[in-house]
Amino acid sequence: MTSSPDVIVIGAGVLGLCTAAELAGRGHAVTVIDPGGANASSIAAGMLAPALESLLDDLSADRAALLKRARDLWPAFAEAHGLTLHREGAEWRGPDAAAAIARLLSLGFEARAARGGLTTPDDWRIEPATALAALARTSGVTSVRGRVARLTADTRRWRIEAEGGRTWFAPTVVLATGAAAAIPGLPEQVAALVDAIQPIRGQLTPIAMEPPRRAVRAPGLYVAPTASGAVVGATMEPGRRDLDPDAQEAQTRVEAGLALLGAAGEAGPSRVGIRGAVADGLPLAGASGEIGLHLALAPRRNGWLLGPLVAAVVADGIEGRPPAPDAAALDPLRFA
Ligand SMILES: Cc1cc2nc3c(=O)[nH]c(=O)nc-3n(C[C@H](O)[C@H](O)[C@H](O)COP(=O)(O)OP(=O)(O)OC[C@H]3O[C@@H](n4cnc5c(N)ncnc54)[C@H](O)[C@@H]3O)c2cc1C
């Protein structure tokens, strides 16, 4: 038996680790439990892209403003946790650039015409693997390897049992398990929320090449810079959880990505991750309805963009602070 930190976070993806770092920064002792290895967060492209996500997903003005506010939390969050933000903007190439620019301006973003499309300074980027490692090292955060096999209520605290039998008790638990199925023992109503999360498979492929100056997006495609070149992505395949890369898809997309940039490069092994999403495309972040059990789940394809917002909303809920203006939109019980 091991006894208790203030908060146990289950899952070390971007939502679990941003929440753990936020809570540690507010003075809580936090333990994060995760089996280790790749997850959706570690393989992602790391674009913090309120402008082009709003354009390409044809989001409402309200939703675009929420994404922009989420992005605006990044500079202070990155500074507090020693993360490097890349604020070089992003580029979109495709038909009818004038209409796309007008749409972005109407949503409150900056945009101007550029070769075959537009550029916007509003979309930024982070290196996912480096950022996850830095967040896990936050003072006050303890990382433990393990897969939680059972989570049960136990008089005013939660009992968390990992495969192999190691057990923790904590008054507060944050469930940040990505697109995984509900952990056995969860109260029925919370298990139903978790099991309603839809998996969306995504594949991207690294390319060894001279990194582009900034992320370049086009219909059905993006090429984003990385420390060692670029990644080209990404598929959106609802309902799929299988992790084997599709070589044909990768080859087609790599060729299209290199053609988009007019560049040469060598593709590496493709990576697949499973995003979790609910009907309205926003995360489930905040109190679950069960005392001491909080959720940080289902950010669809904007988990990195939304990380600090989810972390702040969950931490406020744990501390019983007045909810932030965006908390209602993320409330896990909003569909009830
Ligand atoms: C190809 C691709 C590209 C993407 N690009 C971007 C992008 O550019 N910008 C952006 O904002 N977002 C992007 N995303 C989306 C983003 O990656 C996801 O929204 C985000 O990673 C989800 O984070 P998460 O913390 O919810 O889940 P995950 O990253 O999946 O983390 C969940 C963790 O929980 C752990 N876990 C599950 N069950 C248990 C258990 N029982 N016990 C212990 N641990 C458990 C898992 O092992 C995992 O480590 C991309 C996604 C994909 C797939």
> Does the beta carbon of 131 sit less than 6 angstroms from any atom of ligand 1?
no
Q: Cα(103)–Cα(42) distance, rounded to whole angstroms?
A: 32
Q: Are 158 and 167 in contact (CB under 8 A)?
A: no
Q: For position 3, what pLDDT does the model report? A: 46
DSSP string, 72-113: HTHHHHHHHHTPPPB---EEEESS-HHHHHHHHHHTT---EE
- State in Å: Cα 40 to ligand 1 middle: 3
Residue nearest to atom 12 of ligand 1 (CA): 302
Q: Is 34 in the pocket of ligand 1 (CB under 6 A)?
A: yes
Ligand 1 midpoint to CA 209 (Å): 26
- 160 occurs within a structural domain: yes
CB-CB contact of 264 with 229 (8 Å): no
Mean pLDDT of 323-332: 97
Mutate to test the pocket of ligand 1, among 161, 190, 275 (most ligand atoms within 8 A of CB): 275
CA of 39 to the centre of ligand 1 (A): 5
Instruction: Please report which confidence band the pLDDT of residue 118 belongs to, taking 50, 70 and 90 as the band edges.
Output: very high
Instruction: Please tell me the distance from the alpha carbon of residue 209 to that of residue 80, in angstroms, as a whole number.
Output: 32
The answer to whether residues 315 and 23 touch, using CB atoms and an 8 Å cutoff, is yes
pLDDT at 4: 55
Q: Quick check: is 1 in a domain?
A: no
* CATH at 184: 3.50.50.60
The sheet with strand 293-297 has its strands ordered as 141-145, 30-34, 7-10, 172-175, 293-297, 284-287
pLDDT above 70: percentage of residues in the chain: 99
Percent of the chain with pLDDT over 90: 96
pLDDT, the chain, mean: 96
Distance of CA 305 to the CA centre of its chain: 6
Q: Is the CB of 201 under 6 A from ligand 1?
A: no
177 lines ligand 1 (CB under 6 A): yes
Output the pLDDT for position 336.
Answer: 83
Decide if 138 is inside a domain. Answer: yes
What is the helix (H) or strand (E) element at residue 35, kind and residue range? none
17 within some domain: yes
Q: Let me know if residue 62 belongs to a domain.
A: no
Q: Distance, CA 97 to ligand 1 centroid (Å)? A: 32
Protein residue with least CA distance to atom 38, ligand 1: 177
Q: Per-residue pLDDT for 196 more than 80?
A: yes
The pLDDT tens digits for 51-103 are 999 999 999 999 999 999 999 999 999 999 999 999 999 999 999 999 999 99
* Structural domain range at position 153: 7-41+131-197+279-330
Task: Say if CB 200 and CB 236 are below 8 A apart.
Answer: yes
Bridge partner residues of 48 (DSSP): 124
Angle at which helices 128-136 and 14-25 cross, to 10°: 40
Has residue 300 been placed in a domain?
A: yes
Query: What is the tens place of the pLDDT at every residue in 233-270?
Result: 999 999 999 999 999 999 999 999 999 999 999 999 99
Q: How far is the CA of 275 from the centre of ligand 1 (A)?
A: 6
- Could you report the per-residue pLDDT of 123-136, keeping only the tens digit for each? 999 999 999 999 99
CB 334 within 8 A of CB 196: no
With a 6 Å cutoff on the Cβ, whether 234 touches ligand 1 is yes
Strands 172-175, 293-297: parallel, antiparallel or unpaired by DSSP? Answer: parallel
pLDDT at 1: 43
**Backbone dihedral region for residue 112 (phi beyond 0: left; psi -120 to 50: alpha; all else: beta):** beta
Strands 124-125 and 117-120: unpaired
List of residues 6+ apart from 248 with CB closer than 8 A: none
Q: At 139, which helix (H) or strand (E)?
A: none
157 part of a folded domain:
yes
Assigned domain for 83 exists: no
How deeply is 154 buried, as exposed, middle or buried, from its count of CB atoms within 10 A (0-12, 13-18, 19+)?
exposed
- Structure confidence at residue 2 as a pLDDT band (50, 70, 90): very low
- In this prediction, residue 115 carries a pLDDT of 84
- Provide the domain count of the chain: 1
